[in-house]
Structure 1
Amino acid sequence: MSEQDKDSKTEDPTEKRIRDALEKGQTATSREATLAVSLGVMLIWLLLFAEGSIGRFASDLAYVVDNAAGVPIGSAEDLRRLVWHVMPLIAALLLPLFLLLMSAGIIASAVQNAPRMVMQRIKPKWSSISPVKGWAKIFGKRGLIEFLKSLAKFLFAALLLSVLLRSRLIELPSYLNLDVMRALSGTGQTAQMLVAYLFIFMLIVGVVDFAVSKTMWKADLRMTKQEVKEEHKQAEGDPLVKSRIRAVARARARSRMMAVVPDATLVVANPTHFAVALRYDTEKDAAPRVVAKGTDEVALRIRRVAEEAGVPVFEDVPLARSLYRVAPLDGLIPAEFYRAVAALIRSIQNTGSTHVAN
């Protein structure tokens, strides 16, 4: 991506943009934070369980060594039996630590980002094996950051080992004169100190790295103003399309409305601007019901359909305007119009006319 493209991305990512990135497996993660958690688990194991586990392993191994004279190794089968005897001892020592480290890695990753199944990540991609893409990753901005982090970790570990082991080098020869358990105890203390310092350092690096990764991740998801508009259109619908849908809906509603005008009892209108069609069914309704109403062109269509069907049309400007504004479509007329409309209905009954002009 060019610098010009990056500069145009001035808008914060929308919730949909973030959700799509997470569904594609594009998350902000820190390997240093995971490593820090693993070192913390290893430190706990060294402090609480290592002495007992190593002690049991040393005792079991010492028994094998002390009874070496009774262990035949004259053939490959004898050697295989010896290995099968020693391997469970090694597994009993290392398996709990391995399980703890594996659990720590899973938990650290889950805390940073909720686990999710992302099938797209396992699909073959040319960019994964492309030399050009590979060089871009190595020598790009992210590659430089990863290199500096690795270099900082290596330099600190080297410095820590040199300082820590320098004070312990004098004590190492004295371990040769101690029994196995005391020598292992001294070595364990050195390991605890080393892992503790590494844990503190990596914890600081992991927190900072996760914050930086989160910031860079959001920066990569930033959007241009046009992208925000396009996404809004997709979410809410194109205004032109929505306008067209509303127009079609109104046209269909008018068609349905015009279809019931021939069944109306009467139409109240002013000369051109308003028209309200009423139907009064004494068996179904307590008062006349508005079956159609409209203004201007729609009002003229109501009048024309009514006249063609022989429905009486009364020209009453105040009544037509008031009914149009107050009476709801497909609803009964309000009580204040009962007397005026009743007079029109009586007029129809008295004259038997199909069209009455007032």
Structure 2
Amino acid sequence: MAESDSGERTEDPTAKKLSDARNKGQIARSKELGTMFVLIGSACAMLLMGDELVSALAGAMKRLFSVTREEVMDTTQLFNIVGESVLTVVYPMAWFFAIVALAAFVGNIILGGYNFSWSAIAPKASKLSPISGFKRMLGPQAAVEFIKSLLKFFVVFFVALSLLAGLFEEILGLSLETIPTNFGHAVNMLLWMFLTLACSLIIIALVDAPYQKWNHKRQLKMTKQEVKDELKNTEGSPEIKGRIRRTQYEMSQRRMMQDVPEADVVITNPTHFSVALKYDTDMGGAPKMVAKGADEMAMHIRTIAKEHGVEIIQSPALARSLFYTGEVNQEIPEELFAAVAQVLAFIFQLKAHKQGKGRKPVPLATNLPIPDDYRY
């Protein structure tokens, strides 16, 4: 039962899965949305540039059909006439194709965004396989495409029938109009009918776009095991990560223990916490914490300090404050400067006394100036 469950694709695709699919060219695309934009763009382009394009074509044809004998015999002049006629048509045609190209571009990126992938255009044997072709023809996707085709047919048929019924009298009235007025009227009517039919595909696009987005996500769904495997591959196995963390901790502890003999003083709790401090009088600045530890580590710090003659001072409140607020290899918090300064002054006076350079210092105060926010 567990094996069966692990094979079900119930998990949403991860960000990495979506990114990998995008790199392979697998993104949500709606052909209906692209077709709708192209048709609407073509209709709008014809309505915007139609008059200018017809005028340019008419002018070009009129000029080409009125070439004189002398112009025909003069090849230089003939080529100039042809070039001028073509140039008059280029401008409106360029605008027409630019509008259609823009509509096609927007229609194809509006759902899945812009994406280019060499993997998507690379030849694949599965695309040439007859068996894969039959599976695509008879699979669920083919059934969906068939339903969409039927829906498109009925929507366009209904809209076209409604247009013909609504414009029936206007169409009959074209025979009563004079030439060429009736031609212009008919063309204008056809263009608006074409735009209306193209807009009817919005209904299909509104159905197809969400379906394609849902289907794309469904195809990329993952099993729980795949999610776990990806997590291991991207972030590493939890066992390995735990081993690395333990190794890093052990290395940092060894480095910390190596710095204890260089400390000026070790402040203890006296049993639970130990904090080793060093103050470099030549460099100035604030005292630095070189080591800290609790329980067994605290005992180990005190043992090393005794072996190397580092002074050990018992100050439970200050030891707790330094342990919880300070970081190893960092300067102590500014709020504890006054308390630590008294400890260091006592230590330096004690060292001088032991060397015969001064008198014995006054015992360290038990109530050191520690702010209430730094008491633990």
TM (norm. structure 1) is 0.70
1:264 is matched with which residue? Answer: 263
User: Which runs of structure 2 are paired with 1:155-234 in the superposition (5 Å)?
Assistant: 157=156, 179=179, 181-182=180-181, 184-232=183-231
Hey, what does 1:134 align to over in structure 2?
133
Residue 33 of structure 1 corresponds to 33
Q: C-alpha displacement at 1:259, in angstroms? A: 1.7
TM alignment of 1:271-290, pairs within 5 A: 274-279=273-278, 283=282, 290=289
Partners of 2:9 and 2:222 within 8 A in 1? yes
2:126 and 2:346 mapped to 1: Cα distance? 84
Gap change, CA 1:45 and 1:284, over 3 Å in 2: closer
3-state DSSP class of the match of 2:293? strand
* 1:325 alignment partner in structure 2: 320
Residue 195 (structure 1) shift? 0.7
Counterpart CA distance in 2 for 1:288 and 1:59 is: 92
Using CA pairs below 8 Å that are at least 6 residues apart, which structure has the higher relative contact order? 1
Change in Cα spacing, 1:131 to 1:322, as seen in structure 2 (3 Å) is: farther
Counterpart Cα distance in 2 of 1:213 and 1:154: 20
Matched residue type, 1:143? A
- Partners of 1:234 and 1:340 in 2: CA distance: 51
What is the CA-CA distance between 1:320 and the residue it aligns to?
5.8
Equivalents in 2 of 1:219, 1:57: separation in Å? Answer: 51
Instruction: Calculate the TM-score normalised by the size of structure 2.
Output: 0.67
Deviation at 1:251, TM superposition (A): 1.9
1:42 aligns with 2:39: no
Whether contact under 8 Å (2:57, 2:89) holds in the other structure is no
Q: For the structure 1 residues 345 and 147, does the alpha-carbon distance in structure 2 shift closer, same or farther, using more than 3 Å as the test? A: same
Task: Count matched residues.
Answer: 336
**Counterpart residue identity of residue 28, structure 1:** A
| Structure 1 counterpart of 2:115 | 116
Change over 3 Å in CA distance of 1:351–1:192 after alignment to 2: closer
- For 1:282 and 1:69, the matched residues in 2 are separated by 107
Q: Deviations over 1:234-267 (max 9, x none)?
A: 5655443443333233222222222222333454
Determine if contact 2:13/2:220 at 8 Å carries over to the other structure: yes
Structure 2 unaligned residues grouped into runs of 5+: 357-376
Deviations 1:95-125 (A, max 9, x none): 5544432232112223334323322222232
Cα distance in 1 between the residues matched to 2:5 and 2:302:
61
Report the Cα distance in structure 1 between the residues aligned to 2:349 and 2:157, rounded to whole angstroms: 108
8 Å CA contact 2:32, 2:204 repeated in 1: yes
- CA 88–147 in structure 1, closer or farther in 2 if over 3 Å, else same: farther
Q: Distance in 2 between matches of 1:183 and 1:340?
A: 107
Provide the rounded CA distance (Å) in 1 between the counterparts of 2:104 and 2:5: 36
**Residue deviations 1:138-190 (CA, integer Å, cap 9, x gap):** 2222222222223443455567668877969x969969x974x3463254145
Distance 1:164 1:295, change over 3 A: closer
Q: Matches of 1:70 and 1:43 in 2, distance apart?
A: 41
Letter in 1 for 2:40: G
Listed one character per residue, the Cα deviations across residues 76-105 of structure 1 (whole Å, up to 9, x for unaligned) are x9xxx9xx7999499657655444322321
Quick check: 1:46–1:188 contact (8 Å CA) kept in 2?
no
CA distance in 2, matches of 1:245, 1:142: 48
CA-atom RMSD in angstroms: 4.7
